[in-house]
Amino acid sequence: MKTSSLSTRLGLMVSLMGAGLVLLLATLAFLVLDHELEKMARKSLENKMELIQHSLTMNLNTREIATRNHPLPDLVMGHDNFYLTIVGPSPTAEVLLSIGTKVQEPLMTDFTASETLAYLTWADGRGNQQLGASRLMRLRSGENVRVLLTRDRTDDQALLSAYLRSTLFVLPLLLLLIGLGAWWLVQRGLAPLKQFSHVAAKVTTQDLTHRLAVNNLPKELAELAQSFNVMLDRLDAGVQQLSQFSDDLAHELRAPLTNLMGKTQVTLSRARPPEDYKAVLESNIEEFERLARIVYDMLFLAQVGHPSARASFTTVSLAQEAERVMELFALSAEEKHLSLTLSGNAQVQGDRLMIQRALSNLLSNAIRHSPEGGCIPLRVEACANTVSLSVSNAGPGIDAHHLPHVFERFYRADSSRARTEGGTGLGLAIVQSIMTLHQGLADVHSQPGGFTLFRLVFPRPCGAPTDTTPATPARSAMSKK
Amino acid sequence: MRILVVEDEQKTADYLQQGLTESGYVVDCAASGIDGLHLARQHSYELVILDVNLPNTDGWGVLEQLRRDGNQRVMMLTARGRLADKIKGLDMGADDYLVKPFEFPELLARVRTLLRRSEHIPLPEVLRVSDLELDPRRHRAYRGNRRIDLTTKEFALLHVLMRQSGEVMTRTQIISLVWDMNFDCDTNVVEVSISRLRAKVDDQSEVKLIHTIRGVGYVLEARQ
């Protein structure tokens, strides 16, 4: 029952609810009908009794009653379901008048009566319901008589039972109809969901192009379909990126592997002096290092992508970390007669090692691309909601059509260059992953032939004091020599 | 000193055995966790180098058994570099944890450090190699009678090389020890620093002390 279909369940529930309601209504109608019929019966009895009283008090004495020469029979005779009995006051008194009664019921003579109108009900020998009204009435002659006017309620009973019968007969049909109707309505209402399962069944990692048609859907489902489509879009992009990535990775690994295999095979093809073998091994180790670096970077990217990497976050002073990284690059900069400067400071929440790493990747790029004798300023700036650290350098710049792709894995604007200089093509991808982990972003601005500026934007740590201290005078790494 | 290498990949076991033997250790190899445990119970090894990915009983199981048996030092080798794995290894009582691919000199350095932990040889106050002298406390260095003028980083670099005299230091190790950067950075700082240090230390002397081992790293020693 737990797993039965939604439409069956809804159909069942609606018919149960309908059954309850219809039963309630039918019962209510029965009770009201019963009550109203009884009220009408009593009312008519009361009216008749008044007329009888009137006739009795106006004209008659005990003897005259029996003669039937009076209007009483007319009062009763016209209606075949009335019975009138008039009896003397004492319990054993004889019956003075009995109209309409075919069978004398004992109760019809043996009844008590008082000055006020009293009603009594009983069933006669054949089980028919009777309603009687009794009263003690005074004749003109001053004698008292007991009067009982009875109404046979067989007709009312018949009406009620006919009602009951028809209701009980129709009710199951009605309920069936309600249930089927509900089931059909729910089926119809849920029909668009079929589209969902239809599309979901077709989606695989090879084919993520299927989308739900949103136009014909009801509003509630349209939203769901919309998010479903957006999810598919994201999955599609992710899967494509992933397959592109493994393509690129295989390609990147192929180059060093080809070198290694080729060189080793050539070397082994004939006997050589030991120095030659040594030279080959030494050259091999450089290729191995390249392979190892790619593997390390890949591992790092996989780790950074995992949210648990956020566990080691502490408060990090950007200027302090920048200074340490600048120290590391001071000599490389000096070789190219570059000056590294640092200004500003701010604190962020982050992983020290990762921030160092991101910065080191940016700085090594800047040094690589800067012309001799230039200047590479590092700036830490605190804005309203963000803290940014920028590294800029003069140089050839990056073409506008490369800019959107520079953070992609293995993307190289200049494919021949970086590889010979030892890069893995993952440096900026690592920068971006690190910034994503820090819930910030990395961006780049570049003018060909002008300045290239890379920026790490961190969210401002909540509760941090607004750092309005004017930029500290530019510190130079070279002056620390 | 006796070392047990538990590693199922034959090539890895071979070069570990060769490298460690050439560095003066006695090395036994086991190709499975069960063999490893058996050997570890028969001999007393100063150090067990244990691969995580082993047939039958894996490295974790062997580590657990070793810890139950005694207090042998254990270095775990693994291809899994996740933080959770490292923590698991250290929590289970491993003394060190090295992720593949690793550089052999780093493994050697760590082995030395682990084995030195118990001996605790105090470093001499003044380091001496041939006629090169370094006094860390007074921050001075001499080659023979000539005083060498060094920057802070050059001094730190020379200190690292002299302290581990005779051992090859890789670029990564040097960056970690001198610049305190514990990741692979794309910089030629070590090459530049070494060439400057060499100019100050070796250029004016007959005997060269700083040697480049191409593809591996740098070593400071007096060679005949």
Q: B112 and B178 share a domain?
A: no
Q: Are residues B102 and B57 in the same domain?
A: yes
> Which among B156, B155, B159, B210 is positioned nearest to B178, based on CA atoms?
B156
| pLDDT confidence band for A298 (50 / 70 / 90) | confident
Confidence of residue A131 (pLDDT cuts 50, 70, 90): confident
Q: What integer pLDDT is reported at residue B186 of this predicted model?
A: 77
Q: Which residues of B touch A286 (CB under 8 A)?
A: 215
Q: Which residue of A has its CA nearest to B170?
A: A289
B21 pLDDT above the threshold of 80: yes
- Report pLDDT for B211: 94
Cβ–Cβ < 8 Å for A134, A147:
yes
How close, in Å, is residue B215 to chain A by CA atoms?
6
Residue B186 has its nearest CB partner, among A282, A427, A481, at: A427
The CATH number that applies at residue B67 is: 3.40.50.2300
ipTM greater than 0.90, yes or no? no
What pTM was computed for the model? 0.63
Same domain, B90 and B138: no
Peptide bond into B101 cis (omega under 30): yes
Residues of A in contact with B99 (CB under 8 A): 299
- A332 CA to chain B: closest CA distance, Å? 6
Lowest mean pLDDT among A202-211, B21-30, B209-218: A202-211
Q: For the residues A21-36, what does the mean pLDDT come to?
A: 90
For the stretch A223-244, what's the b/e string if a residue is b when 16 or more beta carbons lie within 10 angstroms of its beta carbon? eebeebbeebeeebeeeeeeee
- B142 and B165 in one domain? yes
Residue in A closest to B184 by C-alpha:
A293
B97/B7 same-domain check: yes
pLDDT attached to residue A479: 37
| Confidence (pLDDT) at A3 | 59
Q: Which among B101, B181, B196 has the least Cβ separation from residue A292?
A: B101
Mean pLDDT of A351-368: 91
Give the CATH number for residue B141: 1.10.10.10
Of B83, B179, B187, the CB nearest to A332: B187
> Using CA atoms, how far apart are residues A400 and A447, in angstroms rounded to an integer?
8
Could you tell me if B105 and B202 lie in one domain?
A: no
Above 70 in pLDDT, residue A83?
yes
pLDDT of A321: 93
User: For the segment A372-421, what is each residue's pLDDT rounded down to a tens digit?
Assistant: 988 999 999 998 889 999 999 988 888 888 888 888 888 876 655 445 55
Helix A427-437 with A352-369: angle, nearest 10 deg: 150
Please tell me whether residues B115 and B194 are part of one structural domain.
no
Domains and CATH numbers, chain A: 6-160 (3.30.450), 219-304 (1.10.287), 308-480 (3.30.565.10)
Q: Please tell me whether residues B185 and B110 are part of one structural domain.
A: no
Chain B residue with minimum CA distance to A368? B187
Q: Give the 3-state secondary structure of residue B57.
A: coil
* Domain co-membership, B113 together with B180: no
Q: Within a 10 A sphere around the Cβ of B196, how many other Cβ atoms?
A: 16
pLDDT score, position A69: 67
Indicate which of A284, A328, A364 best probes the interface with B, i.e. most B CBs within 10 Å of its own CB.
Answer: A328
List chain A residues with CB under 8 Å of B82.
Answer: 303, 306
Of B86, B119, B152, the residue that ends a domain is B119
Interface of B with A (CB under 8 A): 81-84, 99, 101, 151, 153, 175, 179-189, 192-193, 196, 214-216
- For residues B9 and B104, membership in a common domain is answered with yes
B104 and B34 in a single domain? The answer is yes
pLDDT for A232 beyond 50:
yes
Q: Rounded to whole angstroms, how far apart are CA atoms B224 and B220?
A: 13
Residue A174 confidence (pLDDT) above 80: yes
CB < 8 Å to A303, chain B: 81-83
Strand partners, B141: B134, B148
* B99 and B13 inside one domain: yes
Nearest one of A405, A396, A410 to A446, comparing CA atoms: A396
Would you state the pLDDT for residue A308? 74
Containing structural domain, residue B211: 127-220
Opening angle at CA A466, ends A460 and A472, nearest 5: 100
CA distance to partner chain A, nearest, from residue B38 (Å): 34
In chain A, residues with a C-beta closer than 8 Å to the C-beta of B153 are: 327
Banded pLDDT at A476 (limits 50, 70, 90): very low
Closest C-alpha to A329, from B186, B112, B147, B98: B186
Residue A328 distance to chain B (closest CA, Å): 6
Q: What are phi and psi of A25, to 5 degrees?
A: -60, -45
Nearest Cα of chain B lies from the Cα of A428 at a distance, in angstroms, of 12
Chain A interface residues (partner B, CB cutoff 8 A): 281-282, 284-286, 289, 292-293, 295-296, 299-300, 303, 306, 308-309, 324-325, 327-332, 334-335, 353, 356-357, 360-361, 364, 422-423, 427, 481
Cβ of A356 and B101 within 8 Å?
no
pLDDT confidence tier of residue B17, bands split at 50, 70 and 90: very high
* Predicted pLDDT at A108: 65
The mean predicted confidence, pLDDT, of chain A is: 81
Predicted pLDDT at A45: 86
Domain tally, chain B: 2
CB crowding A165-180: b at 16 or more within 10 Å, else e: eebeeeeeebbeebbe
Return the pLDDT at B20: 92
Among the ranges A248-257, B62-71, B211-220, which has the highest mean pLDDT value?
B211-220
Res. A102: pLDDT tops 60: no
Which of A293, A327, A422 has the CB atom closest to B179's CB atom? A327
Residue contact A356–B193, C-beta within 8 A:
no
Calculate mean pLDDT across residues B57-78. Answer: 86
Of the residues B119, B141, B156, which one is the last residue of a structural domain?
A: B119
The pLDDT-based confidence of A6 (bands split at 50, 70, 90) is: confident
Chain B residues in contact with A427 (beta carbon < 8 A): 186
Task: Look at residues B56, B90, B119 and tell me which one is the last residue of a structural domain.
Answer: B119
> CA–CA separation, A148 vs A143, rounded Å?
16
pLDDT band at A190 (very low <50, low <70, confident <90, very high): confident
In Å, how far from its chain's centre is CA A285?
57
Residue A478 — very low, low, confident or very high, per pLDDT cuts 50/70/90? very low
